Structure 1
Amino acid sequence: MRYPTGLMDLMEVPQRFIFNPKEGIDNPALIISDDTESAMQPRLCVMKRDQGEGFGFYLHMGRKCSGLAPGHRVGRVEPWSPADRSGLREGDHILEVNKEFVVTKDYMQVVRQIQTSGLQLCLMVLGESEYRTALTEGLDFRVMTRMHHGGSCCRPRLCHIVRDPLNGLGISIIQSEVGKNRYHVNVLPEGPAKKAGVCDGDSLLWLNGAMVSELTHSALAKMVKKCGSQLTVLVIDGECEKCFCHRKLPILPTMAKSHNLTHMPRTLHLTQGPQGFGFLLRQEKLLTGLIAHVLREVDPGSPAEAAGMEDGDIVLAVNGMPVEDAEHEAIVSRIRQSGQTVTLTVISLCGRDFYSKLGLCPLLFYDKDLPLIEEKCSLCSLSHREWSCDVEQTTLSSPRLCVLNKEDSSTFGFNLGSVQNEPGTFIVKVSEESCGARAGLWQGDVVLEVNGRNVEKNYIEEVVRLIRTSGTSLQLLVMERARYEELRHRATEICHKSQVSPTNALFM
């Protein structure tokens, strides 16, 4: 199936034909055949996890090839996980995350999008063979996703309404005549709801964290009365809702554009002083039952106070990567490993409560420029209990354990190089589609270990001998060369096999 990027040549289409119900179509140029389009159709995978549970799949960093988008490939999918139940399969390539096109996005941006989705996630994916075919044929993935959506499905809006003394909330909820428990809204012109982004006639989907399709009109009325001075609703234009329904697309809060949301997170940039950063990080259990990592004892005049840290702030991310579900010791270790500078994303206690009641991740709609410091971003495999990044990390700038398994008499698919008459080896070439490429080897990687044996001080001849005698399976511990040289210059110990995960992928 080709997706046009411009005007089609209509001159090649026959202008007239005769249809006979007994004989069929009287035109040899028109042949009825099996539908081949379905093979190129993207799939939607909608998954919902429980608190503390992962989505259950690994996300691999793609490799740029001939100037094409590297893509974001799904690795192993855990059996019976939310990902497995949604139909996600190993080898799928992610085109959209929560209705946002991600093919051209940086890998770590996609990781963060998935991690900040909260308990629900919607992925549009394309199977591996279809993805390769689309690349070969030069298909436009953005056009492909638009055609799957029908082209006119706008995103829903998550609107936070604050009551004013004159107009109240400025919104009334009306039960629709079509369908049970379907509602739309009327809003006062220039009222609080209108100012918050709600439009007259919008379909109401969600109110203060509850799907309205599961509520009666009287239950909704009670919820509005109990909401006090604030109300958060998920709404969508009626025509766009029909488009979603026609395409059988879910409408989730994670897909929404936010309007007028309060209690937004803050980003603090700290530079260590003579007495350190000047704060204490404690793990505490909040009244809501949530385990949080809370900042306490902010020293007067310290870098923490100068950056805007307040006692009781809750840590959401370290150096741009979410850490709410990580172990406390891992967060402390990550901050220490940041060196002289660290970037913390925090939120107030009342702000965390606000998002907890909505069932949303506070980072979901945080529009400010969160840094993505690659050498401090985790790519490790986590336990089933965790789903955000732990600090025992492996990135392109940290050691990576690559496991290669060659088939039959094929090679491992990479070439080694070295500096003349000096110990140490590095990867000079990785063949496309080889087991080396599939394992995550990159040109320029320094080889640290071969099958668990350290080879940093070995000459290339010895390293080649170890590889050739390894049989059909090979384990290489490698590291990006620039980062390796930096650590050697700083005389920093490089972690080895026991401290890294066996794949260049992040577990979701």
Structure 2
Amino acid sequence: MASFQPRVIKLTKSEGQTFGFFLRVEYEKEGHLIRNIEKGGPAEQAGLKDGDRVLRVNGTFVDDMEHSRVVELIKESGLCVTFHVLDEVSYDNAKISNISLSETELSKPSKPPMMNGVAASSLKPKLCFLVKTNDGFGFSLKSTKGYQGMFMTDVNPSGAAEKAGIKNNDRLIELNGENIESCTHDQIATKVKDSGNTVMFLLVDEETDRYYKNNKKLKLGASLATVKHLPHKPRITELTPGPDGYGYYLRTGKNQSGHFIKDIDPGSPAEKGGLKELDRLVAVNGEPVGSLEHEEVVEKIRLCGMKCTMMVMDEETHRMYIMGGVSPMQYWEEVKDSYSYAPAPVPAIPQQAEESASVPAIPVENPTPEAPLAIQEREDYKPKLCKLEKSPTGFGFHLNAIRGVPGQFFKEVVEGGPADRAGLKDDDVLIEVNGVNIENSNHNEVVEMIRNSGNNLEVLVAEKEAYDYFRAKQIPITTLLLGISMIEAAHDQPKPEESQEEEKEREDETCKRPDTPPSQAETRDRSCSSSSSSSSSEDEKF
């Protein structure tokens, strides 16, 4: 069953390096195509496949955009860029089915093909993952006169191929995500050899092959396949929060996209439910979250109420699915009827999301977006007054905000930089800039205030836990909470030493560290370089 779910690919490169692919438009083919992926380059390591279509660049929909402008957008991204891509088969089938690639229906699975008025859901290609034994992979290939492609033969009983789900006369469609229907026997043999000790095949049996050949509009590909034969599977757990919540943190990965389970509390619902350290979160209540911002995922979990159905997978399973060019949501589609879940309601205005996302205990059956976090009762919460003096490389922090939600918070505080030495920490919430309260100001206004402050900046901030406490108690956050001695101490800070980090200004953000890929926890799309370049080439290397 094709889900038409785009993959989110985040690429980073070093100065002077390329991303390792060509972007093309081709005669009689729609879309912006990924071609000529360099072996071992950033594109291959991130999971780009030959024939992928680029749908979005840094969140901007580009499928209907002039090719030269797409090239320009990628060049403007500098050393890091985030793509939403769709594999070739899914893209072609989406176009045939007139599915809008810019709309939310992308994430909805398409209807299964029909045969004689009945859903042909059982007639699917199959993905088979083979692990070489001492006897090899346990199959041979043959060609049949008058038929396209290569067919499996001499499948050894109890061999690697049979254990992987392969049968005699299965026709080979893809190898490691690459269509090889037009390849020769020798070419396929070379590709299998180059694959090493593991290989992923997409195959069809005789009945399925006949069905798809009789339905010319449907193109065979991994997005239509069953994943029931794959040895490594995502794991699905249904969690009920305890008094201290679910007992884990949700983090974003460094230099990679995704949301990861961290710091699981012993004996917590998360541990009892089978979550493991560094599990990748794939879906919440049946909704894929891989392409969502961190705050959006946190909000989905918060709105689950007293039961949350989560699908996760470990790194080995993730690599296997990447190898096959297939979404783990296909596994969910095959097993979802075994789970009772309800899609989370979507609030009109999202609650301020907690950045490190320790999912809280939810005290009521039907929580509202305004439901406060479970906050430890303390009487010693205080904000912080920090005085920064800009070094030649800047203040040394990122300022983040969530679209449509009041408030600004700090991220990626540079170790040893002015912000770090002044006492700022990641996730501190900004309250005042140079004595002016900015809690109801928009992001651009706050950025402008910081820019206009010159070389000296005074900020009143609160740690996230303290901020939530004051909000819950409806206590205004001002310097009056500090006491006179703390205010004087902040004004008497010694002049900071110069930092060695390089500063670059972006269009929509300020005070950011250069050459650092944007965190997945940030909700504002931004480039890593302000330089721009245009090209009219229809075949551009990146």
TM-score > 0.5 by shorter chain: no
TM-score w.r.t. structure 1 length? Answer: 0.45
TM-score w.r.t. structure 2 length? Answer: 0.42
Q: Which has the higher contact order (CA 8 A, sep 6+)?
A: 2
Q: Which has the higher strand share?
A: 1
